[in-house]
Structure 1
């Protein structure tokens, strides 16, 4: 008498066909559906996070390109103004000649003002360039800080969120464990809030 082949249950058969995770031992179809839906929710959240990160990177690249173009335009304008100012100040400099070797008090005053204004023009342009560099450094530090904070928040959510495939006693962290995790994250955020900002700006 030939053995009758063993029939698989509908849930097991569906899982095998679709390639979904196997049900746990003594897990009802309702519990399996809830666990599978929870995993799908995590996957969708990760997809949204990756899409948002890609969109942010695209926008950041566009903003960088626009900033570079505006920075070059401003630098060119600054150089043109500098050259025009220096050209105008040339007429204030005293140049001795055969019949006019000594400068008059008025010419000496103009010579002094020409040198002073020339130095001020160079100093202002240099300070403006330094301020633009510091502004970029602060913005980069702010972006890095925000990215690190979001990564920490995501990591904490993953650690604190109960796992659907584990038992109630294993998945639910104790109050003491949650407090220790929060204290650890707070300490890390405190370190990040001061991470190397002076060193970055001083370069």
Structure 2
């Protein structure tokens, strides 16, 4: 008679049963401990997640309050400054000096608006010039790739010419090779024709590259020190705006903004150049 699987020869069935029950109980205890550890880990992770969310909400609320306080302080400071910028005469019996102060305060305000507008326009022009430089660089790389392709085709033509068999190979082998060479030459000539018409049908790659380099140099407009040219600002002439009555404010304002037109200067010198050349009107 054979015993059960795992039963020792000198052990009874009761001992075998007791040993199996002990192993089953030990495995159940192990699985229970694993489940308890998993539940505790999930609870700890959920608690940590809630804590992090609470900390994030508290930080966000603190930042919002700080930004609101900063905005209120900035608004209060701006209101205090604007009180000194706008001069209000005393009733209808204003003296000529008070009227002149009122006019100058309004002029300064409009000048600030003009500065902001001109600065935004200069930033837009700078972005346009940067985009043009990038497009020119891309075009230059394209021309360079076409020139590389042309040189590769020329090298291939030389290889084909060297591979043509001599007269000793027989007339039967010369004719097919000649036809293949002519077909390849025609294909290369057609490709060269397409490349030569890249910009203008009558120009060559070298002339096109020279034209591109000239355009890039014109756009860069650098001096001997490789620095951008600084253009002289127009002088502000206050006598042109002595129209105190301002019967036609639209024409007056158009003339004012035209006189304050800012030319291309260094980006960090926008406001300073405008102020230095227009301080005679302030």
Same fold (TM over 0.5): no
Give the TM-score of the pair, scaled to structure 2: 0.32
Larger Rg: 2
